[in-house]
């Protein structure tokens, strides 16, 4: 009886692992989509950062242009004042102010030119990143369609595999099936593992956790024990390949 149950359990394990494999493939499709979407979102963040940089550079240039206009107006006022005074020292002082303002204008104009070069460079970057993002969105749409197609195909396979697994499980006593499911959930589907004998050492071990089992366990498995035997360390159900 135990031998038949063990054979059915091994069959159930094969179906269970196939079901887990198919479900894992389906989950992997969703992960692929999320990863690609995250890449596009990151690219969108780059565009936002570039736009902020562009706006800041534009504000700086506008502020400097305003300062240039103010400096030019200041120079005009100073020149008017020069026409109204006769004192040479005051005239010279006003002339120095005019020169200082002109130097400030020259410096500001150089900075404005540099700012506009930066603005043009940022605008080029924005166009490049936006074009790449648009391309990636198209690729994502195509990928999403392909993933949905594959998931639909996997859903059919999963449904068939799940039904097959249930048919096998229904052939087992309910307590045995429940025990299998608990162990399988703990060890990612590997509820049954073989015991192997080291011919040189004369020892026996569970291939699930590589811990030793007694010779008595091995003998019982070879002799088709009337009950299921489990590893004392990992609790997996044991069997021998060449029973």
State yes or no: pLDDT of 220 exceeds 70. yes
Instruction: Kindly report, residue by residue over 113-162, the tens digit of the pLDDT.
Output: 999 999 999 999 999 988 988 898 899 899 999 999 999 999 999 999 99
Instruction: Kindly report, residue by residue over 109-120, the tens digit of the pLDDT.
Output: 999 999 999 999
pLDDT at 41: 85
Tell me: domain 24-171, CATH 1.20.1250.20, correct?
no
Rg (CA), the chain: 40
pLDDT at 85: 87
Instruction: Kindly report, residue by residue over 65-116, the tens digit of the pLDDT.
Output: 999 999 999 999 999 998 888 888 999 999 999 999 999 999 999 999 999 9
pLDDT at 226: 64
pLDDT at 201: 86
State yes or no: pLDDT of 243 exceeds 60. no
pLDDT at 242: 66
pLDDT at 194: 95
pLDDT at 58: 93
pLDDT at 46: 87
Give whole-number Cα distances, 169 to 23, 55, 121, in Å.
19, 66, 66
State yes or no: pLDDT of 225 exceeds 80. no
pLDDT at 44: 81
Sign of torsion over alpha carbons 56, 62, 66, 67: positive
Rounded average pLDDT over 152-181? 95
Q: How confident is the model at residue 2 (pLDDT cuts 50, 70, 90)?
A: low
State yes or no: pLDDT of 223 exceeds 80. no
Strands 203-206 and 192-198: antiparallel
Rounded average pLDDT over 183-189? 94
State yes or no: pLDDT of 222 exceeds 70. yes
Instruction: Kindly report, residue by residue over 28-49, the tens digit of the pLDDT.
Output: 999 999 998 888 888 888 888 9
In whole numbers, what is the pLDDT of the chain averaged over residues? Answer: 91
DSSP the chain: -HHHHHHHHHHHHHHHHHHHHHHHHHHHHHHHHHHHHHHHHHHHHHHHHHHHHHHHHHHHHHHHHHHHHHHHHHHHHHHHHHHH---HHHHHHHHHHHHHHHHHHHHHHHHHHHHHHHHHHHHHHHHHHHHHHHHHHHHHHHHHHHHHHHHHHHHHHHHHHHHHHHHHHTTS-HHHHHHHHHHHHHTTT--EEEEEEETTTTEEEETTT--EE-HHHHHHHHTT-SS--B-TTT-PEEE-TT-
Extents of the domains making up the chain:
24-171, 191-239
């Amino acid at each position: 009886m135990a031998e038949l149950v063990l054979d059915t359990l091994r069959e159930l394990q094969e179906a269970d692992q196939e079901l887990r494999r198919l479900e894992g493939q389906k989950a992997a499709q969703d992960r692929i989509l999320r990863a690609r979407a995250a890449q596009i979102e990151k690219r969108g963040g780059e565009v936002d950062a570039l736009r902020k940089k562009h706006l800041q550079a534009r504000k700086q240039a506008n502020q400097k242009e305003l300062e240039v206009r103010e400096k030019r107006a200041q120079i005009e006022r100073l020149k008017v004042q020069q026409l109204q005074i006769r004192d040479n020292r005051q005239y010279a002082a006003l002339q120095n102010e005019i020169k200082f303002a002109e130097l400030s204008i020259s410096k500001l104009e150089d900075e404005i030119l540099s700012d506009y070069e930066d603005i043009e460079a940022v605008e080029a970057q924005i166009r490049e990143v936006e074009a790449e993002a648009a391309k990636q969105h198209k690729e994502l749409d195509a990928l999403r369609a392909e993933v949905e197609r594959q998931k639909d195909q996997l859903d059919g396979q999963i449904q068939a595999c799940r039904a097959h697994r249930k048919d096998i499980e229904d052939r087992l006593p309910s307590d045995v099936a429940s025990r299998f499911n608990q162990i399988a959930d703990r060890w990612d589907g590997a509820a049954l593992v073989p015991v192997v004998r080291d011919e040189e050492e004369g020892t026996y071990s569970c291939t699930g956790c590589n811990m030793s089992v007694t010779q008595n366990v091995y003998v019982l498995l070879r002799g088709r024990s009337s009950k299921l035997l489990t590893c004392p360390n990992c609790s997996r159900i044991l069997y021998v390949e060449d029973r």
